């Protein structure tokens, strides 16, 4: 009986050890997400007048995003204890990313895409946190965001477990990759009465006022398979070039609000899955 007990305990330890995530793999996955499809630095890294990132200030916050609804300063998400998130626990960072709640209980507002990030899997959000822990602390006091709109009391009920999406299902994974991670549709979907009209997902038309210091407003493109107004006639390679290089099918340069510097790091496999998702959308003509 004692021998059976020892075997059982040993087997349980082996199972527990095999289930524990590899810390190195977690950081590697987090680096891929942060520096790729999630593109945290596209907002959280301050920029020079020519829109280039400020050296030695990666993820240190202070970048201004100004819209009629708000004057938002992206916060410092380095490991600085006083001005960043160095004093936050892993669970507090996860709650901030996926539920939009700071450790002091206050709500994080737009442009942080909390409705999309609520779909981020447990393993991916933990990978992002693991990677953020490796980012060098930068002391940078950031101004508080000013809202001209009321913020919700919450972005939804507390989240439980959010499972991974299998890569074996290209459509499901591409949907997850583009929405929960890339929050693509929070720009590429038009608004109606102050809210995104997801009955027209991907139809474009959302206006960004002077993004990245541009003199003119940028209008999000229609990325549904509509043959004239969307990307229905584009080849896979043309779509990939637009995502990773910011060049339209006709050779036009796209507005730099798209995180091309980050999207160029997306793997071919993930780009393929993302295209499967985009081609699955109902074609949306202009209203």
Asked if residue 275 belongs to a domain, the reply is yes
The pLDDT, as a whole number, for residue 48 is: 84
Query: Mind listing the pLDDT tens digit for each residue in 244-280?
Result: 999 999 998 887 778 999 999 999 999 999 999 999 9
Q: Residue 12: which pLDDT band, with cuts at 50, 70 and 90?
A: very low
Q: 256 or 85: whose pLDDT is higher?
A: 85
Residues 158 and 187 in one domain: no
Please report, rounded to a whole number, the percentage of residues in the chain having pLDDT higher than 90.
71
Asked if residue 9 belongs to a domain, the reply is no
The pLDDT, as a whole number, for residue 29 is: 98
Please report, rounded to a whole number, the percentage of residues in the chain having pLDDT higher than 70.
90
What residue numbers bound the domain in which 137 lies? 21-163
| CATH classification of the domain holding 283 | 1.10.760
Long-range contacts of 172-179 (CB under 8 A, 24+ apart): 173/273, 174/272, 174/273, 174/274, 174/275, 174/276, 174/277, 174/278, 174/280, 175/277, 175/280, 176/119, 176/121, 177/37, 177/270, 177/273, 177/274, 177/277, 178/274, 178/277, 178/278, 179/116, 179/119
Asked if residue 224 has pLDDT above 90, the reply is: yes
Asked if residue 45 belongs to a domain, the reply is yes
Q: How far is CA 88 from CA 30, 77, 93, 103, 132, in A?
A: 18, 10, 6, 7, 11
Considering only CA atoms, give the Rg of the chain: 21
Angle at which helices 236-245 and 268-280 cross, to 10° = 110
Residues 48 and 123 in one domain: yes
Q: 198 or 75: whose pLDDT is higher?
A: 75
Residues 36 and 95 in one domain: yes
163, 179, 207: which is the final residue of a domain?
163
Asked if residue 251 belongs to a domain, the reply is yes
Number of domains in the chain: 2
Beta bridge partners of residue 147, listed in sequence order: 70
Mean pLDDT of the chain: 89
Residues 155 and 212 in one domain: no
Asked if residue 21 has pLDDT above 80, the reply is: no
Buried b (16+ CB within 10 A) or exposed e, 42-57: bbbbbbeeeeebeeeb
Asked if residue 5 belongs to a domain, the reply is no
127, 142, 163: which is the final residue of a domain?
163
* CA–CA distance, 82 with 60 (Å, rounded to integer): 12
Specify whether the CB–CB gap between 234 and 225 falls below 8 A: no
The pLDDT, as a whole number, for residue 206 is: 79
């Amino acid at each position: 009986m004692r021998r059976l007990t020892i075997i059982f305990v040993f087997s349980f330890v082996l199972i527990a050890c095999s289930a524990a995530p590899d810390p190195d793999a977690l950081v590697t996955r987090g680096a891929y997400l942060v520096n790729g499809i999630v593109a945290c630095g596209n907002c959280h890294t301050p920029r020079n007048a020519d829109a280039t990132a400020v050296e030695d200030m990666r993820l240190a916050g202070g970048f201004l995003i100004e819209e009629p609804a708000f004057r938002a300063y992206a916060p410092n998400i380095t490991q600085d204890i006083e001005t960043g998130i160095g004093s936050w626990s892993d669970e507090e960072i996860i709650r901030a990313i996926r539920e939009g709640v700071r450790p002091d209980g206050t709500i994080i507002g737009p442009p942080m895409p909390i409705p999309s990030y609520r779909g981020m899997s447990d393993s991916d959000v933990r990978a992002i946190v693991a990677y953020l822990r490796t980012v060098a602390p930068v002391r940078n006091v950031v101004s508080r965001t000013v809202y001209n709109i009321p913020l919700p009391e919450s972005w939804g009920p507390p989240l439980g477990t959010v499972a991974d999406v299998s890569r074996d299902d290209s459509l499901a994974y591409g949907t997850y990759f583009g929405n929960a991670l890339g929050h693509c549709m929070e720009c590429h979907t038009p608004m109606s009465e102050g809210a995104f009209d997801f009955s027209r997902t991907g139809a474009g038309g959302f206006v960004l006022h002077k993004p990245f210091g541009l003199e003119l407003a940028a209008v999000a493109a229609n990325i549904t398979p509509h043959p004239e107004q969307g990307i229905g006639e584009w080849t896979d390679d043309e779509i990939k070039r637009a995502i990773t290089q910011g060049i339209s099918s006709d050779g036009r340069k796209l507005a730099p609000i798209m995180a091309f510097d980050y999207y160029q790091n997306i793997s071919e496999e993930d780009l393929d899955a993302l295209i499967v998702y985009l081609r699955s959308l109902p074609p949306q003509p202009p209203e």
